Structure 1
Amino acid sequence: MTKTVTTTSTTEIVLPGRVEPDGLVVRSRELDAPEKGQVVLRMEATGVSFAEQQMRLGKYYDQPPFPFVPGYDVVGRVTAVGPGVDASLVGDRFAAVTKTGAWASHLLVDAVDLMPVAEGVDAAAVESVLVNGITAWQMLHRLARVPAGGTVVVLGANGGVGSTLVQLACHAGITVIGTASARHHATLRAMGAAPVDYQEESMYARIRELAPGGVDAVFDHVGGAGVEQSWQLLRKGGTLVSYGSAATKDDEGDSRLPVLKLFARLAAWNSLPNGRSAHFYNFWAGRRRCHASWHRRMSEDLTQLLRLIADGHLTPQIAARIPLGDAAAALALAESRTTTGKIIILPDA
């Protein structure tokens, strides 16, 4: 029998418009009772991704209109269910990908989007590999399919996705060249990667020195003019995986234009008879067409990542743990580009 629910108090972080991080607004309100197919999730961990940094500037490809609550993914515990949802879920832990809305103490989530999380697993560790880890796993193993013994380049290897990619590739017997500022090189070496300073003009020349025969894959979240250089690093049969356009984050004008230009460039390269391929990784690809299949892949890949953590083969890279009420500081820290891994937002004490 479905449990009857009235309302739940929630604290949310609102992005009111194009503001600096300190312009985020903390709001408390009564959360509506869950509708058919929904649950109320009490947040145990969420985090800051590059998407929120783009959304702050109104530059994320399909963000909602201002004002809205950011938060791309969440780990939490069900506190109430709506009609049509099994009441036994109350008290269980789950992860979910929300795109927006997760920077809140309590939020409504569609039950079909829940992915089970075992008791005893650190919520921050799960959060660190939720979107970031699934993205890294799918780009490496489902899209590029780099074999053991291959060589890859990871741009921004100190970031949330990048640091996970480095570890997954090294665990799979793949040689990794990772770009980052010099302050992160010791960390990258400890993970097993050969670091290259992205602030040096000779970055691409240095990568060619390390891999004179070309590389099997380049994972590029930067986009912009530099994506041409990433393409040129590939050997015959190599794969360029683009998954962002960080270089154009601060550009004025239509936020869709840089992405559309990137799509056109990748398509043009794929038409060339040179044995190389170029792809844009879209986390949401296939969700509308077949949600069940998309959700099954997400759950399978998250399970693989959590198993690697449990076995000690993947170390969650957590840059900081910051309370929800200090989300502005969390966002500012993420944008400082001084950290390794993901910044986790936790419930207020």
Structure 2
Amino acid sequence: MTRVREIVVVAKGGPVEVRERIAAAPAAGSALIEVEASGVAFADVHMLHGTYPAQPKFPFTPGYELVGKVRQVGEGVPAQLVGRRVAALTVTGGWRSFAEVPAKSLVPVPEEIAGPVAAAVVLNGITAYQLAHQVAKISAGQTVLVHGASGGVGSLLVQLALNAGARVLGTASAAKHPAVRELGAEPIDYRGDVVARVRELAPGGVDVVFDHLGAGSYARSWNLLARNGIVVGYGSASTYDRPGNRFLPYLPLLGRVLGYRLRGLLGAANGRRASFYGIRPDMKARATLVAVFELVRSGQLEVPIAEQLPLVEAGAALEKMISGRGVGKIVLIP
């Protein structure tokens, strides 16, 4: 028998409980993964508060991503998969010591990459890579502004933009400015007048803004764009605890995007664009993760880890995520 330890969010806002049960044999097409590490994401915080667009029903086990070894496979899954090191974008269910995952969702993990590092780059790495190379399509000579440059996604965006030959400005608290400089970006204190500082550093505007803060920030980001620039919204970190309909934080962005397109038709947008990104756990995401793992394995991408905590301290990990005190990703170890 395989005993599973798992984290369960009982109701909206908590509590967060540690539970144990016996694992069933994996279903057809699935594999049982012994989890090495799983990440803590702002999506988990949104789900805790019931504000995630694809909100799971309570009670549920969080965990958007995991890394581990295949221990058992269900019918229709090749037996040679047993013992392989894999990663998966699970959306929920990753905060377990053993997790059942569809075999088609698994991505091989290079042995050179440690479990916590691999887990830290699944969701964040896919997100950052797709934002940089598929949405914004950063090119050499551009100036890029990354909000939250010391965070899990932000720190990877900084590196990917620099690798593409761009100049990078990054917002962060003053205490995190040394870490932002070490990444290679020019830090801006997010508690100060960000707009004035960006205009001082880039008088002609910036070519790309990556904004994870939510609808209230998108208009300011738009106003910082140079001609033909793009602002990419990819989250709503400032609205995780906002009451009411969980889709409301995203509606103002939709209105602005439509408005910008209309202005573009009228010639008032100067080629500026707005886009919103949401990750999809599909084949394209899995192919992206293969590319990200190769960047990590080859040393082209460093993965900052803010802290590693035992799985049983998941509640504390969520609080640390909300506080934003660390640099990089928080990882849970079963």
Normalising by structure 2, we get a TM-score of 0.95
The corresponding residue for 1:58 is: 50
Match runs of 1:1-349 below 5 Å:
8-19=2-13, 23-200=15-192, 202-273=193-264, 274=269, 275-284=271-280, 294-295=282-283, 297-347=284-334
Deviations 1:113-171 (A, max 9, x none): 00011223201111111110110010010110011111111011111100111111112
Instruction: Tell me the distance in 2 between the aligned counterparts of 1:253 and 1:53.
Output: 16
* Paired residues of 1:11 and 1:105 also in contact (CA < 8 A): yes
Determine if contact 1:8/1:33 at 8 Å carries over to the other structure: no
Counterpart of 1:130, as a letter, is V
Contact 2:147 2:211 in 1 (8 A): yes
Cα deviation for residue 327 of structure 1 reads 1.2
Offset at residue 334 of structure 1 (A): 1.4
Q: 1:151-210, CA deviations, whole angstroms, 9 ceiling, x for partnerless residues?
A: 11101111110011111111221111100110100100111101101111x111111111
SS of residue paired to 1:137: helix
Q: Residues 94 and 116 of structure 1 are in contact (CA less than 8 Å); yes or no, is this contact kept in structure 2?
A: yes
**SS at the partner of 1:34?**
coil
The count of residues paired between Structure 1 and Structure 2 equals 329
Shift of 1:329: 1.8
Structure 1 unpaired stretches of 5+: 1-6, 288-293
- Secondary structure (helix, strand or coil) at the match of 2:111 reads coil
Distance in 2 (CA, whole Å) between partners of 1:69 and 1:336 is: 22
Asked if structure 2 preserves the Cα contact closer than 8 Å seen for 1:75 and 1:94, the reply is: yes
With over 3 angstroms needed to count, the CA separation of the structure-2 counterparts of 1:120 and 1:310, relative to structure 1, is: closer
Distance 1:170 1:34 in 2: 43
Identity %: 45
Cα distance in structure 1, aligned partners of 2:95 and 2:199: 42
State the alpha-carbon separation in 2 of the partners of residues 265 and 120 from structure 1.
44
Alpha-carbon distance in structure 1 between the residues aligned to 2:310 and 2:46: 21
Give the letter for the 2:329 counterpart: K
Q: TM-score, normalised by structure 1?
A: 0.91
Q: 1:236 deviation in Å?
A: 1.3
Q: The residue matched to 1:271 in structure 2 has which SS?
A: helix
**Structure 1 contact 269–278 (Cα < 8 Å) conserved:** yes
Counterpart of 1:16 in structure 2: which amino acid? V
Measured after TM superposition, the shift of residue 316 of structure 1 is 1.0
- Distance in 1, matches of 2:168 and 2:55, equals 33
Contact 2:37 2:115 in 1 (8 A): yes
CA RMSD of aligned residues (A): 1.3
